[in-house]
Amino acid sequence: MVARCANPECEGLLDYLEPLKLYPLELRSSGSTLFLWLCDDCAAVMDVEDGMVLPLGAEVRHHPAGNPRAAC
């Protein structure tokens, strides 16, 4: 599990005493799963989908090349 909030602009550190919402990210190259999380402040306004941190309500588009991109 990653020790920092998944939002790259946040410096929130993992606190095992706080309840967490975990976001599994399947690593295709190794077949393992990495778990990302958001701190409470970021989780109130963001979500994680396919390993990308997005504003709540945003959609991820999957392009034919397999690279997800946030919808405009």
What residue ranges do the domains of the chain occupy? 1-72
Q: Over the stretch 56-72, which tens digit does the pLDDT of each residue have?
A: 877 666 555 554 544 43
Q: Over the stretch 6-20, which tens digit does the pLDDT of each residue have?
A: 898 998 888 766 677
Count CB atoms within 10 A of the CB of residue 7.
19
Q: Over the stretch 23-39, which tens digit does the pLDDT of each residue have?
A: 888 888 888 998 888 88
pTM more than 0.75: no
Say what the pLDDT of residue 27 is.
Answer: 85
Q: What single-letter DSSP state applies at residue 41?
A: H
